Amino acid sequence: MSAETLVDRFVTAVIAASDYTATDHIYLVNRVLNIVGEGHQQPAPDTDELIDLKDALVAVAVANGKVGDTQNERDAVGAELMNFITPAPSIVNRHFWDTYQHAPQEALADFFALSKRNDYIKTRAIAKNIAFTHPSEYGDIEITINLSKPEKDPKQIALAKKVKATGYPKCNLCMENEGYQGRVDHAARANHRIIRFKIDDHEWGFQYSPYAYFNEHCIYLDSVHEEMVINGTTFKNLLTIVQQFPGYFAGSNADLPIVGGSILSHEHYQGGRHTFAMEKAPLETRLVFADYEDVTAGIVKWPMSVIRLNGDDLDRVSALAAKILDVWRNYTDEAVGVRAETNGERHHTITPIARMRNGQYELDLVLRDNQTSPKYPDGIFHPHKEYQHIKKENIGLIEVMGLAILPPRLKDELAVVADYIQGKNVQVAAYHQQWADDIKARHTDVTAENAMAIVQDEVGAVFVKVLECAGVFKRDAVGQQAFMRFAQQVGLKE
C-alpha cells in the first residue's frame, strides 16, 4: 500500500473528525504530503484510528528525511498532523464559553475530549503507567510508576546542545506555546490549545496536562511569565478557580526549592477531577481562631502538617489563610527543629489546595520547611536517605495529597525484588538490598502469585514514611504539641 493511500486514509479520518468536508480532500492530501514527503512507500495500518495513522505518517516523514529521528522531532510532525483536527484557539474558546453559559460541566468535557482526540493528552503513553494503592492509617495511598514520559534521547540531548537558545517561548508553560511547532530542545505544541479566563481582570489560561497523573489533570497558568509565589492572592486565586471550574480542585506547588515543584519560573497551579486520600482525611483536632469564628478550621489527620479551612465567604477563608501564612513565614520552634530562616535564607512556605465541598470553600494549607543540615543535606523535611531508593525527588503538590509519582526505573527493579523474595537467584540493585532482605525476612508465605503484590504494598509503606519525613510537626506527642503552639501563635480563641 502506498504512502499516498496512507495519506488518503488519514485525510478521510481527518474529515470525519473535523469541520473539513469531502471538497477539502485534495487540499488536505497535499498539505499532508508537504509535511511527510512523497517518496517513501509504507503500508497503512489496518485501522481508521487517527492516532495510529498519524504514527504511521510520522514514520514516513522520518524515512523521507523530512524530519530527524529524535523524539522531539517526531513529536513535532505528529502534533502538526493532529493540528488538522484541532480548531483555531478563537473557535475552541468560543465553543467553551458558549457551552459554559448553560452547561459548565459539558464545556469541560468537550475540551477534555478534544485534548484526547487530537493526541495532546498522550492517552496511550499514560496507559503504560503502573498504578496501585496502599491501605494506610491515613487512607488509601495511591502509587504510580511513571512510564508515560519518554526517556531522554541521547541524540536529542546532543543536538539540543548545538541549538542556539532563542528564549522563545520562555518556558513550557508560557501561552506562546500554543501552536508552537517545537524544536529539538523544546516540546511540540502545534495541536495545543488554551482556554482563556479572568481572575480579577487579569488573564489566565486553562489547559490539560499532556502526561496526566490523574483524571482530567489540568494546569491553570498566568498569562505573564513571572516566578511562582505563595501569598494572600494565591489563596484568593485558587478559591476563585474552583468556583469557576465545577468539580475540579486547584492547588499550587510551594514556591521554594526542595519543597517546591519542578517549574518555579512561571506562576501556575494544577487541578483536575480526582479525589485524593488527603481530601478524604478527617479533621482530628478542631481549631477556632479569634476574629475568624465564621471559618471552620482544624488539623487534618495526615502524615504531613495540614490545616483545613472551610467557609461560605471566599474573602474570609483566604484572609485567614493569609494570616496563617504570615505567621508561618516567621515562625521558629527550636524544640522541634523548625526555623523560619538561617543566614538570611527563608525556609517556610505553604502548599495550598482548594476545592468546593457541600457548597462551601475549602482550603488545605500544608506547612513546608526547606531546611537542610549535615545529617540531611537533601532536606530535613524531604525523603530521608533510607527511603530514597524508592523516592528521592521533591515532594510536590501531587505527592502531598497522597499520590506518589515514582521513577520508571522501579518497574524492572521491583520485578527483581519480587523474584528475590521468592528465593530466586537474582541480583537486586544495591540500594534496594537491605529493603529486599527485610521484606524477605518478614514474609514467609511468598509465592509467584503474591510476590509482586507484597512488594507493591511495601513500596506504599515506604511512601507513607516519605510523607511523614516531609511533615514539619511529627505525628508523635511532641510534634502535635508543637503544632498546637503554632496554632496558638496564629490566634486560637480562648
- Model pLDDT, residue 381: 97
Beta strands of 165-242 (E only): which ranges? 195-199, 202-208, 218-222
Q: CA nearest 396: which of 212, 259, 198, 231? A: 259
pLDDT tens sequence for the chain (494 residues): 455 589 999 999 999 999 999 999 999 999 999 999 987 767 777 888 999 999 999 999 999 999 998 889 999 999 999 999 999 999 999 999 999 999 999 999 999 999 999 999 999 999 999 999 999 999 999 999 999 876 656 555 555 555 666 789 999 999 999 999 998 888 999 999 999 999 999 999 999 999 999 999 999 999 999 999 999 999 999 999 999 999 999 999 999 999 987 788 999 999 999 999 999 999 999 999 999 999 999 999 999 999 999 999 999 999 999 999 999 999 999 999 999 999 999 999 999 999 999 999 999 999 999 999 999 999 999 999 999 999 999 999 999 999 999 999 999 999 999 999 999 999 999 999 999 999 999 998 999 999 999 999 999 999 999 999 999 999 999 999 999 999 999 999 87
- Taken in order 151, 157, 158, 159, is the CA torsion positive or negative? positive
What is the helix (H) or strand (E) element at residue 114, kind and residue range? helix 104-117
Q: Which residue has the cell 471559618?
A: 295
pTM (2 d.p.): 0.94
Q: Domain ranges for the chain, please list them.
A: 3-66, 89-124, 131-149+211-494
Listed as own residue / partner, the contacts of 379-383 with beta carbons closer than 8 Å and 24 or more positions apart are: 379/258, 379/259, 380/337, 381/259, 381/469, 381/470, 381/471, 381/472, 382/258, 382/259, 382/469, 382/470, 383/466, 383/469, 383/470
Q: What is the structure's pLDDT at 276?
A: 98
Which residues fall within 8 angstroms of residue 438, CB to CB, at 6 or more apart? none
* Closest among 411, 453, 404 to 140, alpha carbons compared: 404
**pLDDT at residue 162, rounded to an integer:** 58
> Are the beta carbons of 331 and 478 closer than 8 angstroms?
no
Grid coordinates given for 47? 485501522
| Predicted pLDDT at 153 | 60
Give me the helices (H) in 363-450, please: 397-400, 409-421, 433-442
Q: First vs last Cα of the chain: how many Å apart?
A: 81
What is the per-residue pLDDT for 154? 56
d(CA 111, CA 47): 25
Contacts of 300 (CB under 8 A, 6+ apart): 278, 281, 282, 283, 284, 306, 307, 308, 364
